[in-house]
């Protein structure tokens, strides 16, 4: 599963979800009157404007809370496309339930609350689908431009020999962007997460050294992936050149390294296909 690009969580994209979507909802409800909303509610145009404003406000509050929670979750776990779509569906369900409750109370409970839900869900979907699709397309275009720019930089580094070779020197910076360690790609065995640190595990005079770096796994992802040090687990990167074999044990897949004293590195289901594919290609 591919993770959602960072462009989805940038400030301008979050502002579109939190501010522009409710604004679109307000004008769309008044102008389009989806599913004969005014007839369904048996109200005048002025009353429709008032109810549209309240429903747009409900949209604003739900999406604001939802996106803040999403940012908190994303800081600890990856969010893939499937999870993102499910999250947006749950947003729609929450908006539906609160809007239906509002309409039910305004109509003095003349209709059963449960009977309002299907109609309100269709109305909510008609409100959210168009802006959500547009925002997603814009985010994908932005992410494509970012990826192209990064790829061009990477190609230039490959061409100049700065990365990709076994003797390439990898600079590791801490969270303050200060250089803390420079080591050749060939010396690194694996990288492991340790609370607010990552341990760069490399060989020095045939001895395993663990260098603690105050950083995150995500921060060192690009430099690792560009030098055949790939993510194999939520808490591990492994150097493909240092893998002797990938085996299946009682707890799942693990990578056995060429250095005898190195621990077995777990390979989780999320990354197993990518790791085994790249390892097979490198071994040819």
Q: What is the pLDDT of residues 130-167, one digit of tens each?
A: 999 999 999 889 888 887 887 676 656 554 445 556 67
Are 245 and 180 in the same domain?
A: yes
CATH, residue 205: 2.40.50.1020
Please give the model's pTM, rounded to 2 decimal places. 0.57
Higher-scoring residue by pLDDT: 11, 231: 231
Which of 110, 134, 156 delimits the end of a domain?
Answer: 156
pLDDT value of position 77: 82
Are 20 and 130 in the same domain?
A: yes
Which residue is listed with tokens 């999406």?
63
pLDDT, the chain, mean: 88
What would the mean pLDDT of 193-210 be, rounded to a whole number?
94
Are 141 and 173 in the same domain?
A: no
Instruction: Dump pLDDT digits (tens) for 254-279.
Output: 999 999 999 999 999 999 999 999 89
Instruction: Dump pLDDT digits (tens) for 19-40.
Output: 999 999 999 999 999 888 888 8
Does 87 map to a domain?
Answer: yes
Instruction: Dump pLDDT digits (tens) for 39-58.
Output: 888 888 888 999 999 999 99
pLDDT value of position 89: 94
Which of 131, 156, 181 delimits the end of a domain?
Answer: 156
Which of 92, 121, 156 delimits the end of a domain?
Answer: 156
Are 152 and 11 in the same domain?
A: yes
Are 236 and 133 in the same domain?
A: no
| CA dist 23 → 57, 90, 106, 135 (Å) | 9, 20, 22, 14
Task: Give the separation between CA 232 and CA 254, rounded to whole angstroms.
Answer: 9
Instruction: Dump pLDDT digits (tens) for 220-258.
Output: 998 898 888 999 999 999 999 999 999 998 889 999 999
Are 104 and 178 in the same domain?
A: no
Q: Do 283 and 245 contact (CB within 8 A), yes or no?
A: no
Which residue is listed with tokens 């003095």?
108
Does 109 map to a domain?
Answer: yes
Does 163 map to a domain?
Answer: no
Q: How many residues does the chain have?
A: 284
| Residue-number span of the structural domain to which 247 is assigned | 169-283
Does residue 82 come out as left (phi exceeding 0), alpha (psi in the -120 to 50 range) or beta?
A: alpha
What would the mean pLDDT of 211-222 be, rounded to a whole number?
93
Which residue is listed with tokens 């960072």?
6
Instruction: Dump pLDDT digits (tens) for 96-118.
Output: 999 999 999 988 777 889 988 99
Please state the domain count of the chain. Answer: 2
Higher-scoring residue by pLDDT: 59, 161: 59
Are 48 and 175 in the same domain?
A: no
Does 161 map to a domain?
Answer: no
First-last CA distance in the chain: 26
What would the mean pLDDT of 166-174 be, rounded to a whole number?
83
Does 10 map to a domain?
Answer: yes
Are 98 and 222 in the same domain?
A: no
């Amino acid at each position: 599963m591919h993770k959602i690009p960072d462009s989805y969580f940038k400030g301008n994209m979050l502002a579109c979800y939190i501010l522009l979507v409710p604004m679109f909802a307000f004008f769309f409800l008044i102008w389009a009157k989806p599913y004969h909303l005014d007839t369904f509610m048996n109200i005048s145009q002025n009353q429709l404007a008032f109810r549209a404003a309240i429903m747009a406000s409900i949209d604003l509050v739900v999406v604001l809370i939802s996106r803040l929670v999403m940012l908190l979750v994303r800081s600890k776990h990856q969010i893939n496309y499937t999870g993102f779509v499910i999250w947006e569906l749950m947003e729609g369900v929450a908006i539906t339930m609160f809007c239906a409750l509002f309409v039910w109370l305004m109509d003095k409970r003349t209709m059963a609350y449960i009977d309002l839900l299907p109609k309100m869900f269709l109305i909510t979907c008609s409100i959210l689908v168009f802006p959500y699709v547009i925002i997603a397309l814009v985010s994908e275009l932005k992410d494509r431009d970012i990826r192209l720019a990064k790829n061009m930089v990477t190609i230039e580094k490959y061409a100049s020999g700065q990365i990709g070779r076994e003797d390439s020197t990898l600079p590791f910076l801490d969270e303050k962007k200060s250089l803390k360690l420079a080591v050749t790609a060939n010396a690194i065995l694996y990288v492991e997460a340790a609370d607010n640190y990552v341990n760069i595990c490399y060989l020095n005079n045939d001895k395993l050294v663990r260098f603690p770096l105050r950083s995150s796994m995500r921060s060192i992802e690009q430099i690792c992936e560009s030098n055949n040090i790939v993510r194999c687990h939520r808490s591990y990167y492994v150097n493909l050149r240092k893998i002797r074999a990938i085996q299946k044990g009682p707890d799942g897949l693990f990578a056995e390294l060429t250095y005898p004293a190195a621990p077995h590195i777990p390979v989780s289901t999320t990354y197993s296909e990518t790791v085994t594919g790249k390892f097979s290609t490198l071994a040819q």
